[in-house]
Structure 1
Amino acid sequence: MATAVPTAALPTPGRAGPAPPRAPLRADPSYLPQLHAALIKSGELTGSAKSFHSLLEAAAASPTLLPYAVSLFRLGPRPPLSTPCYNVLMRAFLHAGHPEDALHLFIEMLHAASACPADQHTAACALKSCSRMCALDVGRGVQAYAVKRGLVADRFVLSSLIHMYASCGDVAAARLVFDAAEESGVVMWNAIVAAYLKNGDWMEVVEMFKGMLEVGVAFDEVTLVSVVTACGRIGDAKLGKWVAGHVDEEGLARNPKLVTALMDMYAKCGEIGKARRLFDGMQSRDVVAWSAMISGYTQADQCREALGLFSEMQLARVEPNDVTMVSVLSACAVLGALETGKWVHSYVRRKRLSLTTILGTALVDFYAKCGCIDDAVEAFESMPVKNSWTWTALIKGMATNGRGREALELFSSMREAGIEPTDVTFIGVLMACSHSCLVEEGRRHFDSMARDYGIKPRVEHYGCMVDLLGRAGLVDEAYQFIRTMPIEPNAVIWRALLSSCAVHRNVGIGEEALKQIISLNPSHSGDYVLLSNIYASAGQWKDAAMVRKEMKDRGIEKTPGCSLIELDGVVFEFFAEDSDHPELREIYQKVEEMIGRIKVAGYVPNTADVRLEVEEREKEVSVSHHSEKLAIAFGLMKLDPGATIRLSKNLRVCADCHSATKLISKVYDREIVVRDRNIFHHFKDGTCSCNDYW
């Protein structure tokens, strides 16, 4: 809405005499032309620069009236144009999202310098236009003009100059401007703090704030928003809580931007409960607040809560934006919530939201993590602009969906497109080699990282190589590779080796791997279970029992198997031997029917890993009640015939469930997609995309 603007007195039509009291001009399309006509008729428009300026300002106050304002400015009749008139229209162009037009007006003023010399407001507006356009060279030209005209002493010109350099990525130049200023009040400090914030220099934001406190510069709510945001990024909960205390003491909790920043800070510092209490206490919540809370849940790995809050957002009739959608897609990717994610994608299309690289990459990642690699490729190809993260998301998606060679071909295409790979890209490349048993290709790509791209391998890359060698049965070579690593191996690397020992029944190296793991991370139950299984597979039952006893003595409980399946937008959770579901009897009856039918097709239960002192029949019942079998049975009950069953598992799929699911896909003529903690398994017609190599 336009603010009320005083105008010159209008003569009473039909008689001379003193003018009536001045009335405010309102930015109303039907009102302004009438007023404009009255001013022309009275001669006031050409005779009073103040009246013209007021009319122009009223017309320029709203983007919908901007063409009318331009006509007033260009076509007349009007008095000679003045600097304030140029400033009004420059600001209007800037607010309407046309910074290039604002700069054209500035250049026009330079050519008419004697009639309309630029002032500090002109220079500040020109610099803001350069910021919007990231026009660094033009901004430097404006700076030179401002210096020549003596305008740089103005604090708003200086703050705009700092902002211009920050927007163009030259934060060092912004700091030079700040340091050279004779006086620096809160406006200047806020500008340099915002400059560091914009460029992701979170620690510098915190240090600048501490500098403000040291020199006694009064900060305001704008400062605090920047500082709290930085605290969230670096996990500085101590300073963030200090700011929260100040907000409470000074009664600043009515500022929604500040409360939203505090909420985001708490979420990023792991205090999601405090973030939610702030959110619930807000009198009104805009899309930014909703998005921050949804993002907080997603980052805290509370993805079901994130989707639940998104549903509340829809009921509150708050329109989500691209930031909201990125967080929702991330939550859907973690949960395997395909239907909800597809709804998000359709919403993006329906509302014609801009497919930014961040949103597009989130879509690619979501489809890949739901096992829909063809949809991921389609989303990838629909993006107008792709960066290295987009290519990497699809490479990793192909790697985990059993398309290792295609992932390597995509990597070659990435290089042909002139996109430089990152260290994360190479994690995807090495994963592709590992899951497809491409040992020589993996060695070649690992060696090329430092040689061809100057990327120093991190511990994650060494872990991929250990996994690659171990999966291929080269357990001794994998062990020697760890011993010769230039960096200290962590528990994840030793765990990859231990997993390989379990697959290839290497007792000696398995014992050494667990010993190293216990020294680094002694409370991970899966490691003990793996070694126990290694002993059992080698017939060393006493050793297997001893490992289980050690787990019990240390108070380490086995992580229960958990599988998630989404039906009609609702995510259902199943645990092994589940006893907490309203349709439990029907589910177990379906499991019994399912096991009976696949036995006819040749299924033989694999009870080798069941360490129970019970009869074989009870062992078979135990493996038939694994969480993925319960989830698959539930899917068969609820989904239409022929519909794909999709689920995600928190642990590695066991050998028995893998062989059973292959047969279920054949007997029931279903495609079943299972995401375990390592890869996707696409079961169809009695086969799996992993080729039994997982």
Structure 2
Amino acid sequence: MALTAFPISPAKPLTAITTIPQFPHNPKTLILQQCKTTRDLNQVHAHLIKTRLLLNPTITENLLESAAILLPNAMDYALSIFHNLDEPDTLVYNIMIRSLTYKLSPLEAFLLFKKMQESSAEPDEFTLSSILKACSKLRALREGEQIHAHIVKCGFKSNGFVENTLIHMYATCGELEVARRVFDGLPERARMAWNSMLAGYMKNKCWDEVVKLFHEMLKLGVGFDEVTLISVLTACGRLANLELGEWIGDYIEANRLKGNIALVTSLVDMYAKCGQVETARRFFDRMDRRDVVAWSAMISGYSQANRCREALDLFHDMQKANVDPNEVTMVSVLYSCAVLGALKTGKWVEFYIKKKKLKLTVNLGTALIDFYAKCGCIDSSVEVFNRMPSTNVFSWTALIQGLASNGQGKGALEYFQLMQEKNIKPNNVTFIAVLSACSHAGLVNEGRNLFTSMIKDFGIEPRIEHYGSMVDILGRAGLIEEAYQFIKNMPIQPNAVVWRTLLASCRAHKNVEIGEESLKHIISLETPHSGDYILLSNIYASVDRREDAMRVRDQMREKGIEKAPGCSLIELDGVIYEFFAEDKACPHLEEVYNATHDMMKRIKEAGYVPYTADARLDAEEDEKEASVSHHSEKLAIAFGLIRTLPGTTLRISKNLRVCTDCHNATKMISKVFNRQIVVRDWKCFHHFKEGSCSCNDYW
């Protein structure tokens, strides 16, 4: 063995690691337990060289284990020791391959394994297990198959430890059938093997197989553990299998396993994904300690249940608890911010990402693109997209959809073209986004060509959403008869959404006959909601058929169909304020209504005329003007005007389609008060500026 002395600078005298009266003849405990830093190890290493104890293979292995595995940031030191060994044995190679796999580079581990094969050291079960894990990390299926052949050739086929990592390798590389053959071929299947197979199915999102395999375990009386239950609970959440999930929950309670934070977190996640958010919260609140995964599971549960305000409230509690969020937390928070239009909170998330120098992953970047787009800040979406180190079809689709819904249809088509130039293949959701762009921009021919190209060039079979988008394109352009015939010729049965899209176009273009036909089809397919009747009533009113308009409203009353209350949200200084139409219980009631009265007075002086057909059904004639002036978005806008500085952009989110009167009023407000106002209704964005709207008065 070549001995190398490590120079020590006299300017920095070393301090003793610990007070050791005499250096032990067998320093294993000293090396593995008392060496806490590289500097400590350096002193021990120097002494071993001096005393020639380094020639003892066991002591060398202890030194390597400490440097390569136990100490942080000491891998280079371990490599320097390793490269100076004349003939490393199997145990030394095992230490280095294992540490390279987990700490530095699985590729380096694989290269070292090849070097080992060329030496006199023979791989054992620990070598093979470590190198199979390296193959898993690299998704190196071909190399993994070669190692499998070596395992069979050298007689390790019956070794359960090796076989488990083999199952894991095949499952990680997507070869589930091969993994299952290895599993089924085991002479004895220990619990670890079952867990490896369950983890493989889980990794590949084969949730049904996870549940089936668990039932097989129960049938055969195979003992399971917490690792098993975490896999099965994850599957139960994805399958909404509440019955099995509750059974596991009862098992956890009965066997006092609630101290396992990972297991209880999986239980919280399962209940939340099965729609049992209150039950999930009870388990969450009872946890003795909560790590970032637990907080993220509960926040995600609220987000997925569209209880977004509660998601953000819990996120603020997480910050107070000094728990740093991870990527999963941030994606859920950004989704909730997007739904609520909570721009300030979402901007804080991006600031946090930059401050912590976190990688802008595809998932996180896509969530940011979607968030900014849904807050009406489409320029910020483009900026995030351009900063992302890597993108995928979902990133491109989110940007294209954002541009489309914000009235930038031509920009959306430009990115769709660029996407193809970058060899990113669009999926069916991308085509929904790009057809939506054509609809908003009035690009009828482009829409027709894209619909054809989708089938012909990309082999994507149109779904009901694509047909609905084509109806919207034609209807928006006033081609009502063509849109009607398009529906009649569809190869699949049109649903109520398709007919509702046509009905909305009939309202915009005052086509009574096809509007009536559309409502009949909606009624035959599902229970219509108030918006369907109101659209037809508005069509009658637009052609002066007042009696028919009132008849439709009377039908609504007779059938007990009530119009859903309008609700609008505005975020000011990080606080979300909620307003309902004619709200008498809103915070700052007097202030809000006084501000609304003054706002309406000023726009009337500028030429605004109330469209009282949008008043509530039971309003008397002399109440109708007051009724429309107290719609939820007007209350929110008035509140925003008095609570923000002049020139500040106001951002409103509404649960319903913007009515004609509010659309007319908001255009006038933007002009009179010199404000940009962004209103997001359930269909699209309206960017109001200087008396006009980005939707060109069709929505």
TM-score, normalised with respect to structure 2: 0.93
Are 2:447 and 1:439 aligned? no
Question: Following the alignment from structure 2 to structure 1, what is the Cα–Cα distance between the partners of residues 604 and 343?
Answer: 31
How far 1:612 moved relative to its partner? 5.1
Partner of residue 4, structure 1: none
CA distance in 1, matches of 2:387, 2:590: 46
Does 2:36 correspond to 1:28? Answer: yes
Q: Distance in 2 between matches of 1:650 and 1:637?
A: 23
TM-aligned CA distance change 1:20 to 1:262, over 3 Å:
closer
> How far apart are residue 555 of structure 1 and its match?
2.9
Q: Distance in 2 between matches of 1:20 and 1:135?
A: 39
- Judged with a 3 Å threshold, the aligned counterparts in structure 2 of structure 1 residues 50 and 598 are, in CA distance, closer, same or farther, namely same
Correspondence for 1:107 among 110, 114, 133: 114
| Residue segments in structure 1 that go unaligned for 5+ positions in a row | 1-9
Inter-partner Cα distance in structure 1 for 2:548 and 2:26: 105
Distance 2:406 2:144 in 1: 49
The answer for the alignment partner of 1:3 in structure 2 is none
CA contact (8 A) 1:25 1:55 kept: no
2:64 matched residue in structure 1: 56
Q: CA deviation at 1:496?
A: 1.2
- Provide the aligned C-alpha RMSD in A: 2.2
Per the alignment, residue 4 of structure 2 pairs with none
Once the two structures are TM-superposed, the CA of residue 35 in structure 1 deviates from its matched residue by 3.3
Alignment match, 1:578: 583
1:165-199 residue CA offsets vs partner (Å, 9 max, x unmatched): 22222223222322332322211121121111111
- For 1:100, the aligned partner's letter is L
Q: Which residue of 2 aligns with 1:380?
A: 385
1:647 alignment partner, one of 644, 652, 660: 652
Give the whole-Å Cα distance in 2 for the aligned partners of 1:268 and 1:11.
57
- Give aligned-pair identity as a percent: 57
Pair 21,320 (structure 1): closer, same or farther in 2 beyond 3 Å: closer
Which residue pairs with 2:698 in the alignment?
Answer: 693
1:509, distance to aligned residue in structure 2 (A): 2.5
Aligned-partner Cα distance in 1 for 2:545–2:663: 25
Shift of 1:63: 2.7
Question: Residues 239 and 36 of structure 1: is their aligned pair in 2 closer, same or farther, counting only changes over 3 Å?
Answer: same
1:638 and 2:643 equivalent?
yes
Partner amino acid, structure 1, of 2:36: D
Alpha-carbon contact 1:399-1:431 (below 8 Å) kept: yes
CA distance in 1, matches of 2:440, 2:28: 82
Structure 1 residue 580, shift from structure 2 partner: 1.6
Task: Show the 5 A alignment for 1:305-454.
Answer: 305-454=310-459
Distance in 2, matches of 1:522 and 1:385, equals 45
Matched, 1:500 2:531: no
Contact 1:404–1:435 (8 Å) recurs in 2: yes
TM-aligned CA deviation for residue 44 of structure 1: 3.3
From 507, 514, 517, give the equivalent of 1:509. Answer: 514
CA deviations 1:46-90 (Å, max 9, x no partner) are 2x33233233323331232333333333336xx953211221222
C-alpha distance after superposition, 1:254-294 (max 9, x if no partner): 21111111111111111111111111111111111111111
1:13/1:323 CA distance change after superposition, 3 Å? closer
CA deviation profile, 1:591-648 (whole Å, cap 9, x unmatched): 1111121122211111133365766552211111111111111111111111111111
Cα distance change on mapping 1:42 and 1:658 into 2, 3 Å: same
Pick the aligned partner of 1:148 from 130, 153, 164: 153
Offset at residue 208 of structure 1 (A): 1.7
Alpha-carbon distance in structure 1 between the residues aligned to 2:517 and 2:206? 43
Paired amino acid for 2:235: A
Residues 41, 426 of structure 1: alpha-carbon distance in 2 compared, 3 angstrom cutoff: same
Helix, strand or coil: the match of 1:673?
strand
Corresponding residue for 1:87? 94
Return the letter of the residue paired with 1:179: D
Q: Distance in 1 between matches of 2:42 and 2:423?
A: 55
* Residue number in structure 1 paired with 2:228: 223
Distance 1:74 1:82 in 2: 13
Q: Would the aligned equivalents of 1:11 and 1:20 in 2 still touch at CA under 8 Å? A: no
Q: CA 1:36–1:515 in 2, change beyond 3 Å: closer, same or farther?
A: same
Secondary structure of 1:63's counterpart equals coil
Extract unaligned runs of 5+ from structure 2: 1-18
Q: Secondary structure at the match of 1:608?
A: helix
Displacement after TM superposition at 1:653 (Å): 1.0
Give the superposition deviation at 1:131.
Answer: 1.0
Residues 20/498 of structure 1: CA separation in 2 closer, same or farther (3 Å cut)? closer
**Number of matched residues?**
678
Structure 1 Cα separation of the partners of residues 617 and 387 of structure 2: 53
- 1:360: Cα distance to partner? 0.8
Q: Distance in 2 between matches of 1:199 and 1:595?
A: 58
Task: Name the CA distance, whole Å, in 1 between partners of 2:664 and 2:74.
Answer: 69
1:75 aligned partner: 84
Partner of 2:123: 118
How far is the alpha carbon of 1:503 from its aligned partner?
2.1
Change (3 A) 1:174 1:20: closer
Matches within 5 A, 1:476-555: 476-522=481-527, 524-555=529-560
Which residue, out of 206, 216, 227, partners 1:211? 216
* Aligned pairs for 1:539-618 within 5 A: 539-610=544-615, 617-618=622-623
What's the offset of the Cα at 1:232?
A: 1.0
TM-fit CA distance, 1:382: 0.7
